[in-house]
């Protein structure tokens, strides 16, 4: 749990730094988008508004998740991180839909676009977004909350690259429809990121075992000395980096239940990273073979 708290503190620092970058770039981009009549810049500015909201929500979630468990909240507020990730995924999808709608209108009725200004602002924004992405990259591998914010910022990098390409093409050819076409490409990336984030966060809410195979856990427990049965095995993820397991384990009549439980807990942490385990270890009923057929597991 101490490691989890340390990770949350590091997450907050990275998120705060990224938020400062995003807000500065967003303000510049809104002004430039209005002046240049660029939908690509305004679309990404709209995306960056959701970035700022997503980062703020992620910071609040990380702060709340660090609070200790108390009262009815026996796991604390850890799952606020997952709720934040879900909100970020939904926000990405909604902004993508708006961008598609606006791009179609611009394709039908194109506006004059100042390609040179779009190119300069997009290149500057790309550099800033890469910096914010680097700040969040490491933490995003361990926290789905930070990963939600990271995906927002990463799609900004792609959006700026598309806007820069559109600006250069408009400058070179004078064809203004390159701008809404670039925004459609950005919308596709946003929808892909949204789907990934919603899929991962929903899997945690549905209490799946994630990357851990329950059958492998059962086999590992059943293969230990003195164990004659394993049932009611459940593996789930409370929040990012916090997998849990519970099981009912039967051991032979002559076995030491307390020693067996300690040995099995060490096994679960060493092989599967399951540091939070709840094992009910009891002696097998009379007549059950020492290595009999294992009971059916219910997940």
Is the pLDDT higher at 252 or at 189?
252
Residue 178 has which token pair?
């390159």
Q: What CA–CA distance (Å, rounded) separates 26 from 46?
A: 8
Closest residue by Cα to residue 152 from 201, 94, 200, 193: 193
**Residue 8 pLDDT:** 65
Share of the chain above pLDDT 70, in %: 88
162 with 196: CB under 8 angstroms?
Answer: no
Q: What confidence category does residue 175 fall into, taking pLDDT thresholds of 50, 70 and 90?
A: confident
Q: Residues for the chain: how many in total? A: 299
Q: Are strands 242-251 and 227-239 parallel, antiparallel or unpaired?
A: antiparallel
**Residue 291 pLDDT:** 52
Domain 214-283 has CATH 3.30.565.10: no
122 with 177: CB under 8 angstroms?
Answer: no
Indicate whether 129 pLDDT > 70: yes
Sign of CA dihedral 166, 167, 172, 175: positive
Indicate whether 2 pLDDT > 60: no
Indicate whether 121 pLDDT > 70: yes
For the ranges 93-97, 137-141, 148-152, the maximum mean pLDDT occurs at 93-97
250 with 228: CB under 8 angstroms?
Answer: yes
**Residue 4 pLDDT:** 54
Q: What confidence category does residue 288 fall into, taking pLDDT thresholds of 50, 70 and 90?
A: low
For the ranges 71-85, 138-152, 188-202, the maximum mean pLDDT occurs at 188-202
Is the pLDDT higher at 163 or at 266?
266
**Rounded average pLDDT over 45-67:** 75
**Rounded average pLDDT over 270-291:** 82
pLDDT digits (tens, 9 = 90+) for 226-272: 999 999 999 998 877 788 999 999 998 888 999 999 999 999 999 99
Domain 2-205 has CATH 3.40.190.170: no
Domain residues of the chain, as ranges? 2-205, 214-283
pTM: 0.70
**Rounded average pLDDT over 156-163:** 81
Is the pLDDT higher at 40 or at 116?
116
Indicate whether 51 pLDDT > 90: no
Indicate whether 293 pLDDT > 50: no
pLDDT digits (tens, 9 = 90+) for 204-227: 888 898 889 999 999 999 999 899
Burial of residue 90 (CB within 10 Å: 0-12, 13-18, 19+) is middle
Name 60's Cβ contacts closer than 8 Å, sequence gap at least 6: 80, 84
Q: What confidence category does residue 5 fall into, taking pLDDT thresholds of 50, 70 and 90?
A: low
**Residue 74 pLDDT:** 75
Is the pLDDT higher at 18 or at 297?
18
């Amino acid at each position: 749990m101490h490691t989890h708290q340390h990770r949350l503190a590091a997450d907050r620092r990275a998120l705060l730094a990224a938020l400062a970058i995003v807000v500065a770039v967003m303000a510049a981009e809104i002004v430039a988008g209005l002046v240049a009549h660029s939908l690509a810049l305004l679309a990404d500015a709209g995306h960056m508004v959701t970035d700022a909201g997503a980062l703020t929500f992620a910071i609040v979630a990380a702060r709340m998740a660090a609070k200790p468990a108390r009262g009815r909240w026996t796991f604390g507020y850890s799952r606020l991180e997952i709720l934040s990730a879900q909100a970020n995924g939904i926000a990405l999808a909604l902004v993508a839909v708006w961008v598609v709608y606006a791009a179609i209108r611009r394709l039908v009725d194109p506006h004059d676009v100042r390609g040179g200004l779009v190119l300069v602002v997009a290149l500057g924004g790309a550099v800033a977004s890469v910096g914010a992405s680097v700040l969040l990259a490491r933490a995003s591998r361990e926290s789905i909350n930070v990963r939600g914010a990271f995906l927002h910022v990463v799609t900004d990098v792609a959006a700026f690259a598309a806007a820069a390409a559109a600006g250069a093409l408009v400058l070179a050819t004078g064809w203004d429809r390159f701008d809404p076409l670039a925004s459609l490409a950005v919308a596709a990336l946003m929808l892909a990121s949204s789907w990934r984030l919603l899929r991962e966060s929903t899997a945690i809410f549905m209490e799946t075992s994630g990357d851990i195979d329950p059958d492998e856990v059962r086999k590992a427990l059943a293969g230990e000395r003195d164990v004659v049965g394993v049932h009611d095995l459940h593996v789930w993820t409370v929040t990012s980096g916090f997998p849990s397991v519970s099981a009912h384990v039967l051991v032979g009549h002559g076995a030491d239940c307390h020693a067996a439980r300690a040995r099995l807990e060490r096994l679960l942490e060493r092989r599967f990273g399951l540091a939070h385990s709840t094992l009910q270890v009891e002696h097998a009923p009379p007549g059950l073979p020492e290595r009999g057929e294992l009971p059916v597991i219910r997940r």
